[in-house]
Protein backbone atom coordinates (compact mmCIF):
# COMPACT_ATOMS: atom_id res chain seq x y z
CA UNK A 1 0.00 0.00 0.00
CA UNK A 2 1.48 3.33 -1.04
CA UNK A 3 1.83 6.39 1.14
CA UNK A 4 -0.78 8.16 -0.97
CA UNK A 5 -3.37 5.48 -0.17
CA UNK A 6 -2.67 5.78 3.56
CA UNK A 7 -2.29 9.55 3.92
CA UNK A 8 -4.10 10.92 0.87
CA UNK A 9 -7.63 11.50 2.21
CA UNK A 10 -6.27 12.85 5.51
CA UNK A 11 -3.85 15.23 3.77
CA UNK A 12 -6.63 16.32 1.37
CA UNK A 13 -8.97 17.12 4.27
CA UNK A 14 -6.24 18.91 6.25
CA UNK A 15 -5.13 20.84 3.15
CA UNK A 16 -8.58 22.18 2.27
CA UNK A 17 -9.35 22.68 5.97
CA UNK A 18 -6.26 24.84 6.47
CA UNK A 19 -7.01 26.78 3.27
CA UNK A 20 -10.49 27.56 4.63
CA UNK A 21 -9.00 28.59 8.01
CA UNK A 22 -6.40 30.86 6.38
CA UNK A 23 -8.74 32.54 3.87
CA UNK A 24 -11.65 32.65 6.33
CA UNK A 25 -9.44 33.92 9.14
CA UNK A 26 -8.13 36.77 7.00
CA UNK A 27 -11.68 37.69 5.96
CA UNK A 28 -12.80 37.81 9.62
CA UNK A 29 -9.69 39.84 10.52
CA UNK A 30 -10.45 42.45 7.85
CA UNK A 31 -14.15 42.65 8.78
CA UNK A 32 -13.41 43.03 12.51
CA UNK A 33 -10.66 45.59 11.91
CA UNK A 34 -12.99 47.67 9.71
CA UNK A 35 -15.69 47.45 12.38
CA UNK A 36 -13.28 48.60 15.12
CA UNK A 37 -12.01 51.47 12.97
CA UNK A 38 -15.57 52.60 12.18
CA UNK A 39 -16.31 52.73 15.93
CA UNK A 40 -13.11 54.70 16.56
CA UNK A 41 -13.94 57.12 13.74
CA UNK A 42 -17.41 57.73 15.16
CA UNK A 43 -15.88 58.47 18.59
CA UNK A 44 -13.26 60.81 17.11
CA UNK A 45 -15.91 62.67 15.10
CA UNK A 46 -18.23 62.74 18.11
CA UNK A 47 -15.55 64.26 20.36
CA UNK A 48 -15.23 67.17 17.93
CA UNK A 49 -11.54 66.51 17.55
Partner 1 sequence: MTQQAAPESVAEPTAAHSSAQRTTKWLGIATAVAIVAFAYASFFYAPEDSIQGSVQRIFYVHVASAWIAALAFFVVFAGSIAFLVSRNMRWDAYAGASAEVGLLFTTVVLVTGMLWGKAIWGVFWTWEPRLTSVLVLWLLYLAYVALRAYVPDPSRKARFSAVLGIVAFLDVPIVYLSVKWWRTLHPEQVIITEQGPQLPGMMIVALTVGLVAMTLVYVYFVRLRFNVNDLEQQIKREVAK
Binding site for partner 1 (CB under 8 A): 3-5, 7-12, 14-16, 18-19, 22-23, 26-27, 30-31, 33-34, 37-38, 40-42, 44-46, 49
Q: How far is the CB of 27 from partner 1 (least distance, A)?
A: 7
Min separation Cβ 30 and partner 1, Å: 4
Instruction: Please give the Cα distance from 41 to 47 (Å, whole number).
Output: 10
B/e letters for 9-32, b = 16+ CB within 10 Å, e = fewer, are eeeeeeeeeeeeeeeeeeeeeeee
Minimum distance from CB of 6 to partner 1 (Å)? 8
Amino acid sequence: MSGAEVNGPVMLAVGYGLAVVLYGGYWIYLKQKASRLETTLRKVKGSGN
